[in-house]
Amino acid sequence: MCGIIGISQNKNAAKLAFIGLYALQHRGEEAAGIASYDGKEIYLKKKIGLVADAFDAKAIEELKGDTAIGHCRYSTTGSSNTKNIQPFLVTHRGVPMAIAHNGNLTNTEALYRKLEDGGAIFQTTMDSEIIIHLLARTKNGDLKKWFVNVLSQLEGSYSLIFLVGDTVVGARDPKGFRPLCLGRIDGKYVLASETCALDLIKAEFVREIDAGEIVLIKGDQIESVFLPGHGEGHKAQCVFENIYFARPDSDIFSDNVYEVRKRLGAALAKEHPVNADFVMAIPDSGNYAATGFAQQLGLPLEIGFIRNHYIGRTFIQPTQFLRDFRVRVKLNPISRVIKGKRIIVVEDSIVRGTTSKSRIEELRQAGAKEIHLRISCPPIISPCFYGIDFPSTQELVAAHRSIKDIAQFIQVDSLEYLSLEGMLSVMKNPKDFCHACFTGQYPVAVPQNKSKYLLEGKAA
């Protein structure tokens, strides 16, 4: 899961890309980068860390030109290190190209072997670099045919933004796993993962890029072409985007994330009501489902945890050590609100279980009389190979424990999850969502080598 943005023909392109990435920070906290083009060459700045740490005023000024693309990284293929920071930049036959990728290819190993056997020399261990090698080997004067040829070879999930000379190219895979939207500022087009980025740069939302669509943008000019298979069968939009990843003020998949999460909470309350003094959330991602849950049952909604806003999202940290550390310092319970009370705690999901267990321990220490945990999605039992970093069932607490066992592990008085049917019932066009992490039903073939580090040791 990553955040990507593209700005075409704007004198403040690099500044707008920076601001847009700031809005998309929740999609990736490991590293950030921006590439810009001034008509002669591409300039690149990238660094490990948050967007605000990766760029200062001097760096932005050095990103010359009126066209730029940006990326904030959450690693799903390849280690979290400097060489894997995007955008990834090359120059081929005098044409500079840069790529920003959100998603995860599932035929990475096969493409890598084919390219390496053909003489390709890899600089990174990202699946994204494969796309650049394919572009270099199939160069065509017609950009539309060129990109259709290359992207047709990819399997898995991808929302992509390229900088090819003065052209910004955007694309979504035929199943539409990851969001990508089109906006307009000062009459010129921009691309972003989510509409919250458009809001911050004061761009007008135009539409979503369709599943299987490739758009070629030069300022106020835009052309579209579609990949083979476009419009065939159902899409496979990631339902976890609506549950956890996307910002609640974004519109994705033709719906508003805040409203979806409230509907999830209301559906959860209908399925699993319980008598209690009040409802509270595990902030921030649980806030909106908790609101819907409380409104559905007519119970008070209280703030039981105060969040330290200088700590980022715990789930998307690349190692368990960092996740555990951030869990401890991220939230602090308000004992005077909690002591002696029967509380319903609403959380968006349970992945590994470590965060939930820690939170419940803190509520017990704060004096809660009863704790009833409600989860606004079904149990996560299967790995994701389409851009979320839980590639092994060993990491998923629900893959090898019953709900009763999980309740005992977390130490709650009761635990209930929203059913698959309940979750899908609140989505627009429910057949167009991927729910493989809840069911094991994968809409696109999964890789044989399932390791996040499958290219480690194979590349320079």
Lookup result for tokens 């030109």: 65
Q: Taking Cα atoms as reference points, which of 81, 84, 76, 86 lies closest to residue 33?
A: 86
Distance separating alpha carbons of residues 192 and 208, to the nearest angstrom: 10
User: Please, what's the b/e burial string for 430-448 (b: 16 or more CB within 10 A of its CB; e: otherwise)?
Assistant: eebbbbbbbeeebbbebbe
Burial class (CB in 10 A: 0-12, 13-18, 19+), 413: middle
Q: Taking Cα atoms as reference points, which of 280, 392, 422, 270 lies closest to residue 338?
A: 280
Distance separating alpha carbons of residues 390 and 395, to the nearest angstrom: 7
Instruction: Judge whether 2 counts as a catalytic residue.
Output: yes
Output the CA torsion 264→183→104→126 (10° steps).
-140
User: Which two three-digit tokens encode residue 117?
Assistant: 């056997």
DSSP-derived pairing of the beta strands 370-375 and 414-417: parallel
354-365 vs 320-330: helix crossing angle, rounded to 10: 30
Q: Active site residue: 2, 72, 238, 437, which one?
A: 2
116 phi and psi, to 5 degrees?
Answer: -65, -40
Active-site annotation, residues: 2
